[in-house]
A and B are shown apart, each in its own frame.
Chain A
Amino acid sequence: MEQETLDLAPLYEMLKEYKTQRGAVIPALQKAQGIYGWLPKEVLEVVSQEMRVPLSQIYGVVTFYSQFYLTRRGRHICRQCDGTACHVKGAAAIVSAAEKHLGVKAGETTPDYEVTFEVVYCLGSCGLAPVAMIDDKVIGHLVPERMVDILDKLE
């Protein structure tokens, strides 16, 4: 891995608040991921020590929830919804168009770490199906051509 030394100072700073709270492992991990974009091993070790929770248990939690990532993520996150409403309205075609365009499968990140493409179940905007969430923006009424266009224009 070309991952060099990680600046762990902000992590220690953040953990001060959660150390004393009961059952705060999940919010602590969420905050940690907010800092680094994903959860490298070193980060998990620090969380384990500071929160006084065994690393094995931390690992158990991280692998259980789909929103924790153990691999580096792209600069942009594109989440195509394939919830029921979107599915019925043709999300599958958008997924394959995006996969073809980016050259990666759902759940993968482009080799240049620009875009991570994911398929998720329901973003709760079913009235606009099919929808995708690109970074923090929900985009509705998609068609494959529009998705490709949006991915093209990501900067």
Chain B
Amino acid sequence: MSEALRRANVLVCGGTGCEASGSHDTFQRLTEEVERRGLTNEVQLIHTGCRGFCAMGPIVIIYPEGIFYCQVQGEDIPLLVEETLVKGHIVERLTYKEPAAHQAVPFYSQIPFYEKQKRIILRNCGMIDPENLEEYIARDGYQALGKVLSTMTPRDVYGEVKASKLRGRGGAGFLTGLKWEFTARAQAEPKYVVCNADEGDPGAFMDRSVIEGDPHSLLEGMIICGYAIGAREGYVYCRAEYPLAIKRLEIAMAQAEEYGLLGDNILGTDFSFHLHVKEGAGAFVCGEETALLASIEGRRGEPRPRPPFPAVVGLWGKPTNLNNVKSYASVPQIILNGAKWFASIGSPESPGTAIFALTGKVNNTGLVEVPMGIMLGEIIFDIGGGIPNGKPFKAVQTGGPLGGCIPVQHLNVPVDFDSLKEVGAVMGSGGMIVVDEDTCMVEFAKFFLTFATAESCGKCVPCRMGGKRMLEVLTRITEGRGRLQDLVTLRELAAGMEEASLCALGQLTPGPVKSALQYFEDEFIAHIVDKRCPAGACTSLVRARCINACPADVDVPSYVALVAQGRYAEALEIHRRTNPFPLVCGRVCPAFCEDRCRRADIDEAIAIRDAKRFMADHELERPWTPPRYGEAKDQKVAVVGSGPAGLTAALRLAQQGYPVTVFEQLPAPGGMMAFGIPDYRLPRDILNADIEAITRAGVEIRCNQALGRDFSLDSLSEDGYSAVVLAIGAHKSSKLRIEGEEKEGVLPGVDFLREVALDNPPDLTGKRVGVVGGGNVAIDAVRTAWRLGASQVHVIYRRLREDMPAYEEEIKAAEEEGAIFHFLTNPTRVLGDGHVTGVECLVHEPGDFDRSGRRRPVPVPGSEFTLDLDVLIPAIGQSPDVEWLAGDPAIALQRNNTFEVSGALCTSREGVFAAGDAVLGPATVVEAVAQGNEVARAVDHYLRTGTTEKTVMMPGYEVVEQPFDLDEYADARRPHRPELPVGERRGNFREVELGLDEETAREECKRCLRCDLEWLETMQLAFEPVPARQASKVFSASRRDNQ
């Protein structure tokens, strides 16, 4: 069936609460207005059940954007339709506002971006006209200078700065006041004040912003410094890349001179001070103080050994005070408000504020000034607004190319000079670059090293050569030519450079590599051992990001290209080489490939899963018989469990010629595919079609055979099985561990779904059901309960919606079907005598960050409330059922009862392997398939050689030609997936998601950017197809010994 595609879906809540607030009228008006504007074919209107937010009703939600409007009355409809459905704008007036900020236009101080900021250095930036001195004066500008000249001795001035404990904002964190004192006490004359505005760190731009936005604050700070140390002349050394900053600085200097605030006899006193601007010429090392001074003198900007420090021997051999822009700009505020005031801000050892340039993969990029000691996670999530597209946070690089990265487990670290050092990063210049899963930490480290080695001045050997050698090693790792020994070499080189380099550039160059090794060693090892780049960034190892993202290495671009050409059988054949469940995965795969699709950088990802489903459905009437690759063998293999991992392993081994028997405990094969995923997502006959193909390869499946009851590992070996694969899944529901859990009416999630699949559903008609959890099992249970006639379905989840592990589309569907969500809520007690009558819950609030980077839910004392329920379904996690082991130590388990396995998926018992959820914990079909392939390779290797080392598969590549012009599809858009209307879903298990029609599917596939062809070009490989069509991709690989 092919329903017309809709551009937008408008959901109007029709719950009792909203009806009472007039949602009927709202819906009516909406229908009329949509009709009037001729949008009927584009916009789908849906009446939903209660959303549990009755106070704000009537609620209207518009997808795909997910715009949430509340209190929408009939008269709001014309505006809503006009602005949102026609123009695509959000009507702010109708959006929900947190009660605290119930104003359409909040004060800046209430916008999360500014709420946690404290602006001292940036106080005037964006507020005053930087080219107008009087605006600066109006905001107390030059008052500090006046105070200094009229009431303070030079000694008072540096004493005050010292007492404030201001630390150098250039990154090193030396006490500014102390430096001033050194220079003041130096004997030689004349003395100089120099400002380092050579902001060379990629990713830092706060100095530029201060000079551009508030240049007088820098001038005032420098003049005060001149008075304090006894200098009459100063220089601002500014990067040439900042023409606007230089221009504004020159204007500011001219104005200050005109007003008598700079030059001879400042404010009528006998203190005179002159300033010059020096433009840099592009050398990163000039950020180092001695190199910077050499550059001002007109020489090559090479550093020299210290001591003597510039305070003693500086510019032209004279005592020189050198500070960063932000240090000088802080001084007027310290003088005006006093050292005590400044020292009271931030953390005791790092007082004041820090400015960060927040950039990279973060929503609110920009400049932020925060009190020192703020939690890192607050900067990234509260101020920065989190990671775009809801991706997980991976790491943040602080201190630029000479800094280090901080991973997710350290989001609670206070941001100040000393704490950052403790976790292996530095404050540095204040660049804060956020990266997500798309950044490869090995490549990232290589990037910084490329920069640092290019900027090495070459004067000292450790920096000049050490950096180069490290870069070579990193390059070969990213190209898949690394050795494990390389990690030792990198660490040795790093230690040598840190110890022996002349200046900070060389000493800090290894920093990013060291911290990447400290926190992301597994990524280095993935490159070296598995020849894989998990982030999909290293070209040599990644043919296309989608293939790289697929756990089963399915050759996405090839089959998508074949679908585009109508060659469905060939497309399917490529898919089945690595994944024999195209019908299943076409429906339930989370499509990791789509998350990484490069087309999404332009508009939207290719609808890969829909294309897959189309080709698999299209070929449904031509049953597939898997090809046989190996000669018939006589070593028998037993596979325990018939889920995706077990069946894939069985298929691959059968294709290699082994006789394989699968033992299944339940009455039908399929594991969680049959007894976990409900029929409305995956119809049973569809699943069976994929399974039947596997039996055609010669795999025998014996149902109703339970391990520990009908057979044992010993009996299997007695029966002549040479190897066993345990793919028993994770079918045991985790307990809530709360009082009353044993009461009647408490049904564990997986048990509930299994009983429904066995055609033995509990009677839920008219009952109030509560489901605890936020994963896919929980949402499956919610949607199943609704279909079984439950009157209300509540979801109780202890974190926030965005933290739910369930698939977004499933959560949305549950919302459409009227599920009532209680976020930040956890059950504490099951109520009722014998039978459940309700559950007592406790409200939580987000606390600090846990190791997963999510806010830890913290109970709010006294927030208990009762939810009246008839049935409670806990679905907070699953683990393998290992009761049959009866404590047998022959097979080692990990926490959560998953099997402990070697790199070759071998358990601690000889000849017994394990795969799927029993190893991974609850995972996806495609991850189980990948494990099935891998364990089959391991078993084959074991049976042929008797050894169990890990084998690595280097897949060959396929080249499918591109017979049309991609440019014609530049404006093509991803189609919407047709769905069964919400009104037709209740009381049945009909499939909800529907397939694309042939034309749509083929056209959609033509949007593919064919990264695989680009890769061939980049790698300079031949465009001819690989002839190895006859061999299974899974087995054709060259084998490499683990090093």
* A-to-B contact residues, CB < 8 Å: 22-27, 29-30, 53, 57, 60-61, 64-68, 81, 83-90, 120-129, 136, 143, 145
Contacts and interface: CB of A to CB of B under 8 A. Distances in A.
Given A88-B433, A121-B284, A143-B602, A126 B300 contact: no
B301 interface: yes
Contact of A124 (B208, B316, B433): B208
A67 B239 CA distance: 11
Given A30-B281, A68-B281, 16 more contacts: A22-B297, A22-B298, A61-B298, A61-B299, A64-B283, A65-B282, A65-B301, A83-B203, A84-B448, A86-B202, A88-B359, A88-B360, A121-B200, A124-B199, A126-B204, A126-B360
B366 interface: yes
A61 B360 contact: no
Contacts, number: 129
A77 to B, nearest CB: 12
Contacts of B316: 22-23
B397 interface: yes
Contacts of B400: 84
Interface band, chain B:
35 or more
B365 A127 contact: yes
A85 B360 contact: yes
A122 B1043 CA distance: 40
Contact of B281 (A26, A53, A88): A26
11 contacts: A22-B297, A22-B316, A26-B281, A68-B282, A84-B359, A84-B360, A85-B203, A88-B435, A122-B241, A124-B242, A143-B601
Nearest to B202: A83
B295 interface: yes
A24 B281 CA distance: 13
B1017 to A, nearest CB: 10
Given A25-B298, A65-B301, A83-B203, A129 B360 contact: yes
A27 B301 contact: no
B158 interface: no
A57 B294 CA distance: 13
B848 interface: no
Given A24-B298, A61-B300, A85-B202, A127 B282 contact: no
Interface string B298-335: 11111000000000000010000000000000000000
A127 B359 contact: yes
Interface in B678-705: none
B952 to A, nearest CB: 27
Given A26-B281, A84-B360, A124-B205, A90 B397 contact: no
B202 A67 contact: no
Ordered nearest first, which 6 A-B pairs have the shortest CB separation?
A83-B202, A65-B281, A122-B202, A67-B282, A85-B359, A66-B282
Contacts of B365: 85, 126-129
Nearest to A100: B1017
B433 A85 contact: yes
B296 interface: yes
B240 A30 contact: yes
B300 A60 contact: yes
Contact of B366 (A60, A67, A83, A127): A127
Contacts of A122: 200-205, 241
Given A22-B316, A61-B298, A61-B300, A145 B203 contact: no
A83 B450 CA distance: 11
B296 A23 contact: yes
A143 B301 CA distance: 35
Interface string B373-407: 00000000000000000000000010011000000
B451 interface: yes
Contacts of A68: 281-282
Given A24-B298, A64-B301, A126 B205 contact: yes
Contacts of B199: 124
A89 B208 CA distance: 21
A136 B247 CA distance: 14
Given A121-B202, A122-B200, A124-B242, A66 B359 contact: no
Contact of A123 (B241, B359, B366): B241
Contacts of A127: 205, 357, 359, 365-367
A67 B433 contact: no
Contacts of A88: 359-361, 433-435, 439, 444
A84 B283 contact: no
B410 to A, nearest CB: 19
Nearest to A18: B298
B359 A30 contact: no
Contacts of B301: 64-65
Nearest to B537: A92
B749 interface: no
B433 A26 contact: no
Nearest to B283: A65
Contacts of B280: 65, 67
A61 B295 CA distance: 9
B974 interface: no
Contacts of A126: 202-205, 357, 359-360, 365, 431, 433
Interface string B268-293: 00000000001111111000000000
Contacts of A64: 283, 300-302, 457
Contacts of A90: 601
A124 B238 CA distance: 13
Contacts of B200: 121-122
B602 A145 contact: yes
A84 B299 contact: no
Contacts of B361: 88-89
Contacts of B457: 64
A64 B365 CA distance: 33
A124 to B, nearest CB: 4
Nearest to A33: B281
B447 interface: yes
Nearest to B438: A88
Contacts of A143: 601-602
Nearest to B199: A124
* B200, B208, B281, B297, most chain A CB atoms within 10 A: B281
Contacts of B243: 136
A27 B276 CA distance: 12
B279 A84 contact: no
Nearest to B208: A124
A107 B311 CA distance: 39
Nearest to A28: B298
A24 B602 CA distance: 49
B240 A67 contact: yes
A81 B202 CA distance: 9
A124 B400 CA distance: 12
A87 B447 contact: yes
Given A84-B360, A126-B365, A127-B365, A26 B295 contact: yes
A121 B451 contact: yes
A29 B204 CA distance: 27
Contacts of A57: 299
Given A67-B240, A68-B281, A23 B202 contact: no
B360 A89 contact: yes
Contacts of A25: 298-299
Nearest to B451: A121
A127 B360 CA distance: 8
A60 B359 CA distance: 36
Interface string B729-742: 00000000000000
A55 to B, nearest CB: 14
Contacts of A89: 360-361
B258 to A, nearest CB: 22
A67 B281 contact: yes
A123 B240 CA distance: 10
B202 A66 contact: no
A138 to B, nearest CB: 9
Nearest to B300: A64
A124 B279 contact: no
- Which of A89, A120, A126 has the largest count of B CB atoms less than 10 A from its CB? A126
Given A61-B299, A88-B361, A143-B601, A30 B205 contact: no
